[in-house]
Amino acid sequence: MKETTQEILQKDAKDYLPVYGGRYGIALDHGKGVKVYDNDGKEYVDFLGGIAVNVLGHGYPALVEAVSRQAAQMIHCSNLFYTRVQADAAAKLVALSGLGKAFFANSGAEANEGAIKAARKYAHMTDPDKSQIITAWNSFHGRTLATLTATGQPHYQEGCGPLPAGFDYVHYNDIEELESMMSDKTCAVMLETVQGEGGVYPPKGDYLKQVRALCDKYGALLILDEVQAGMGRCGTFFAYDTYGVKPDIVTLAKGLAGGVPIGAFLCTDEVAKAFHPGDHGTTFGGNPLACAAANVVIDTISQPDFLAHVKEIAAYFRGKLEALAAKYPELVKEVRGQGLLLGMELAKPGTPAVDDCRANGVIINCTMGNVLRFVPPLIITESDVDTVVAALDAALGRM
């Protein structure tokens, strides 16, 4: 017999480290497509998608089939062995990115940790003092010590010191400030292609191209964190293709295997020269189960028709959100984002709207206190958007 939500919540309160602040009082049981179902049988339209992870929704048949088949064949072997699924996944990502080498880890933080190591090791080949890494205020790069130091939000760092040295912060979209901080001691500039957790801020105008030019001027590497914005979410396979720039290193995770834990960094062949056997590694990273899943996701998302769908449905959704902004001008300050990474900034805290939507069977979330964030599965249809927009309309009306 299934346990009730109350029973599960009670167990959790007793035994699970209480680190998740805004947990909703719901235990999810299963999902199908864009819908998820809680332990008491209630249905929700899921426009959070495991925070940009379930890019193909829930129970996508080709993904279920590949994971089931691989689980039966072999879940894991160590990286002392080669596997076809790992070599395939790396080859696909290298071809799609135009970069030179891929490395698989288990999460976004680990992917970024690897990218930071790559940049430091590369710079140190020519100058041991070339170690400055510049990141953005309001960025989010993960929870390990180096990545929470890279994260330009001091509250994530509180109580964790001493932090790794060599990180400086600038305001995202302020190119003058960035230039004023750079010198030939700058090892890398690390940015999210579109800021996600920090309130959904896309780059303005030619900002990323100008960042690329500054990196070239000072011999610094450009690291783009596409853990959230990549994997087709912005309407191109890599978000940087939307903005016409090429990083030296890009990181992926969340959507990469459609829900199976994985992370990756890709780098140019030039940067890859910094790594020699023994310099980096992981037990689980890029294991057969994760790579079998990643292969299906990569193959599906890289199809031109799939990416065209993302662009189309994103334009439809954004139009509806902008119509709500026009309807509630006092309440909605701005709609922004790129593709299916969309934010609606409110003039008030967003939690009541998130709670109201959830009570009415629609899952969204809120970041930075007042930015409603939409990172749905990429397979959503117009009727899913209509359901969510109707719930949101009602919620905003009640505020």
Give contact residues for ligand PLP (rule: CB under 6 A).
107-109, 112, 140-142, 192, 196-197, 225, 227-228, 253-254
Q: In what order do the strands lie in the sheet with 371-374?
A: 332-338, 341-346, 371-374, 365-367
Q: How far is the CB of 253 from ligand PLP (least distance, A)?
A: 5
Q: How far is the CB of 197 from ligand PLP (least distance, A)?
A: 6
Residue number, nearest CB to ligand PLP: 108
Gap between the Cα atoms of 389 and 383, Å rounded: 10
Q: How far is the CB of 108 from ligand PLP (least distance, A)?
A: 2
Q: How far is the CB of 142 from ligand PLP (least distance, A)?
A: 4
Gap between the Cα atoms of 247 and 215, Å rounded: 10
Gap between the Cα atoms of 271 and 368, Å rounded: 35
Q: How far is the CB of 383 from ligand PLP (least distance, A)?
A: 28
Write down how long the chain is.
Answer: 399
Q: 142 or 286, CB closer to ligand PLP?
A: 142
Q: 224 or 362, CB closer to ligand PLP?
A: 224
Q: Of the candidates 183, 184, 189, which has an alpha carbon nearest to the alpha carbon of residue 169? A: 189
- Coil, strand, or helix at residue 78? coil
Q: 141 or 318, CB closer to ligand PLP?
A: 141
Q: 235 or 261, CB closer to ligand PLP?
A: 261
Contacts of 195 (CB under 8 A, 6+ apart): 136, 138, 139, 140, 172, 201, 202
Q: 116 or 380, CB closer to ligand PLP?
A: 116
Q: How far is the CB of 52 from ligand PLP (least distance, A)?
A: 7
DSSP string, 174-225: -HHHHHHH--TTEEEEEEESSB-TTT-BPPPTTHHHHHHHHHHHHTPEEEEE
Q: 225 or 356, CB closer to ligand PLP?
A: 225
Using alpha carbons, list the distances in angstroms from residue 116 to 262, 271, 334, 378. 18, 12, 33, 29
Q: How far is the CB of 41 from ligand PLP (least distance, A)?
A: 30
Q: 332 or 375, CB closer to ligand PLP?
A: 375
